[in-house]
Structure 1
């Protein structure tokens, strides 16, 4: 999983499963639990109760992401410093996540072993959350008794417990502990009980590239696991049986390279194949057996390789579109363990960190809210930064450029949620670094992809500051990328770039030289439509037709041209908007319907305005019959927009005022007869409000 959004046929198809919203009650309980853990008090024992394992995994993963990063490391130049590096060179974690050792389930002893291997600086140990208690049900009575005895003797263990302990368990085990280990129950600090939540139907959608390489995560030296989840071996065993069937039903799919958006330039990425350690379930079983054997003696090199093979197995599954949350978390866990056991100077570290970055970006798509998403994105950015410290860019220019491209994309995604201008500037710097080591001669398509990404970052920054300067930089980057795409062989990507160029010129026309830049925008959109046809790319064609209509509208209404020219531009505007709407109607009738990336109601409203302008501008000297046709069309499209704006109060009010304006134009042109004709076309429920305004 080298780069997510790529030109390589083997690059990953990124699918996004609709995440579950965590209920209000559970969110409140989570915030109280997070606050309790963040205090960092010693000898505190918390119990988190959750019968829904999937929900438990998400809550524990969120705690890990949000609390493992020290507050003073946020906001530093270049992203967040890693909190999961080995203590010799990295910040120390504030929260460590461990799976319960099922052979000797003694939580406090397990914590002490971890601390012995990773001594905390300044005698300031992290907190610990322990997962996997539910798996004791499948163990022998002897093992279960060992666990309960370890809790009964908690009073003797407390003097050695310098940390906060959070123990996750289902309700049956909570009841068992209450009755069988009352000594532990007396010493616990608090219980946080979460309710199970129904799982919604999956809503899979393919994401066509944003320039991101998915997002990184830091590596925590730890004994069992860096990301909370069910026991790794339990998950692996339950999923291997399904693997062959998954391959038959879900063959690897080629990912789209570009995300299409109307009115907004889009980004691309690139994919690079990497040799996999694990290619089939038998290898995964072998990896599992190896790790179980190595757990006894733990030779670092062998243990790291075993974890790496397991991580690569799940990475391969993800690259074949099996992007479940469980697969992502398991891959992250395995790679984290591999990094924890690798030597600091290992040449594998940079690639693993890059893969972790990609996995964290994908995991961010499951976030229940923006705060959780930010935590994952920050983990990703940190992993990319850490990867860049692992080698000299002059010795590995291709890897350096790839990771910088990923980093630029990650900052671009982060800019959507916080510190927009600063993160876009960070994105631009990263893309610039990538281009220093990504030459047009050696990697022409990757060079072009990064130039396109850079152009899009500049376009977004232009919406924040120095619009003219940054829009011109965006156009320069897009124009630099264009020659590397052959319109005959790579027509859709070439058309995408033309659409981006058109949008940048349209935007620039709002600030200077409107007629010249609008003409350039129109030329670029028309070039895009040569290959973005209703047959080859109906959704992209609809978006570009919408953009073309808007450019013609501005040319007709904002530029001083003769009446014949204005009328011609408005006619072209109407034709483009009508083509866009016709394609939307066609796509909506597909099974399933195909979404478009622009506001169709706004397009209908704009089309109504264009028809109104044609009907009422006296310079055009239209026949009365033609005037009436345009007025009827204006009213029809404004009413359609009104219906689409039913959930947008401000837009609804604006469209309603345009309906009133159009009905008044009917009255001016045809008197009461014209007004009554207009009112006869209005839905009855609107009549009282319209009559009041008329």
Structure 2
């Protein structure tokens, strides 16, 4: 009963303290769990790891979450379903990836965990989980620091991972995940080291426009603002006619200017001051380029 209450708090937290309360419930449940019920004990450990991982701004709790997941993995190895074990692999990978951002783990270890989970979470049987893992793999690849040649290979692998996810995830069935993947693929294409930047940016524009089928100013304003600012950046690096670049890019720059201005207004409205300032600086640069510094000022 304690575990069910904790799971309910995790799935639908109404207050910031709900996840912390769920963690307390798991602690209490672990204390009274019969020692011979290893399956229940392992599931409690896994649930507590998920609660600890989900607590906002709880980076100091991530190591505790990792320890719970690893203990659960040992306990459940011969008892749980393949899907439960794959979910543990996925969660361990996510914690390792988050810790790696802080320099407290290695991205490669997270990727290995993700690939292990993909043995169960296949595209055919578990498309949503497959897509989420591919997104995480791509993000991990793009976060790795390495030499130029290895970096290009990682960028290519990241693009492949995003594309693999989008092959199995349909807009109609999973709109939010679809939009996230399209936005992320656009970013990966736009910033990849490539000898074909125009082609990459053209594809990135298509990705952002797909994401905007879901991310609207009304329903998801901040996600919308992020995507239109990404789209503006891609447009600002494209000629109006890719086959005749000598004709310039006045139309694309004008559209980028409009999108940046809209994104800045949304960011300011929602208190995203740093993002608004960054977009405003880029917008100013475009205005100066188009109209000249004297006329802008």
- Structure 1 length as normaliser, TM-score? 0.37
Secondary structure in 1 matching 2:125: coil
2:229–2:263 Cα contact (<8 Å) kept? yes
Aligned in 2, Cα 1:424/1:407: closer, same or farther, shift over 3 Å?
same
Partner residue of 2:7? none
Partner residue of 1:279? 22
Q: Could you say which structure has the greater relative contact order, defined with CA pairs below 8 angstroms and 6 or more residues apart?
A: 1
Partner residue of 2:187? 456
CA positional deviation for 1:535: 6.6
Partner residue of 1:338? 72
- Tell me, which stretches of 5 or more residues in structure 2 are unaligned? 1-9
CA positional deviation for 1:534: 5.8
Question: How many Å separate the matches in 2 of 1:498 and 1:535?
Answer: 16
Question: How many Å separate the matches in 2 of 1:310 and 1:345?
Answer: 15
Higher normalized strand content (fraction of residues): 1
Question: Are 2:216 and 1:486 equivalent residues in the alignment?
Answer: yes
Question: Are 2:159 and 1:428 equivalent residues in the alignment?
Answer: yes
After superposition, where does 1:379-398 map in structure 2 within 5 Å? 379-398=109-128
Partner residue of 1:498? 228
CA positional deviation for 1:333: 2.8
Higher normalized helix content (fraction of residues): 2
Q: 1:348 aligns with which of 84, 102, 113?
A: 84
RMSD: 3.1
1:499–1:524 Cα contact (<8 Å) kept? yes
CA positional deviation for 1:324: 4.3
Aligned in 2, Cα 1:318/1:468: closer, same or farther, shift over 3 Å?
same
Question: How many Å separate the matches in 1 of 2:176 and 2:191?
Answer: 23
Question: How many Å separate the matches in 2 of 1:492 and 1:323?
Answer: 23
Aligned in 2, Cα 1:446/1:351: closer, same or farther, shift over 3 Å?
same
Partner residue of 1:235? none
1:575-602 CA-to-partner distances (Å, cap 9, x unmatched) read xxxxxxxxxxxxxxxxxxxxxxxxxxxx
Aligned in 2, Cα 1:324/1:496: closer, same or farther, shift over 3 Å?
closer
Partner residue of 1:251? 17
Secondary structure in 2 matching 1:484: coil
CA positional deviation for 1:362: 2.0
After superposition, where does 1:214-225 map in structure 2 within 5 Å? none
Runs of 4+ in 1 over 6 A off after TM superposition: none
Question: How many Å separate the matches in 1 of 2:283 and 2:57?
Answer: 38
Partner residue of 1:442? 173
Aligned in 2, Cα 1:378/1:472: closer, same or farther, shift over 3 Å?
same
Question: How many Å separate the matches in 2 of 1:393 and 1:380?
Answer: 20
Secondary structure in 1 matching 2:276: helix
Question: How many Å separate the matches in 2 of 1:304 and 1:476?
Answer: 47
Partner residue of 2:93? 357
Partner residue of 2:295? 571
Question: How many Å separate the matches in 1 of 2:267 and 2:26?
Answer: 44
1:487–1:495 Cα contact (<8 Å) kept? yes
- Structure 2 length as normaliser, TM-score? 0.80
1:214-272 CA-to-partner distances (Å, cap 9, x unmatched) read xxxxxxxxxxxxxxxxxxxxxxxxxxxxxxxxxx9x6369xxxxxxxxxxxxxxxxxxx
Question: Are 2:47 and 1:323 equivalent residues in the alignment?
Answer: no
2:182–2:208 Cα contact (<8 Å) kept? yes
CA positional deviation for 1:309: 1.2
1:498–1:528 Cα contact (<8 Å) kept? yes
CA positional deviation for 1:468: 1.3
After superposition, where does 1:64-103 map in structure 2 within 5 Å? none
Aligned in 2, Cα 1:524/1:306: closer, same or farther, shift over 3 Å?
same
- Tell me, which stretches of 5 or more residues in structure 1 are unaligned? 1-9, 12-247, 254-277, 295-301, 557-565, 575-694
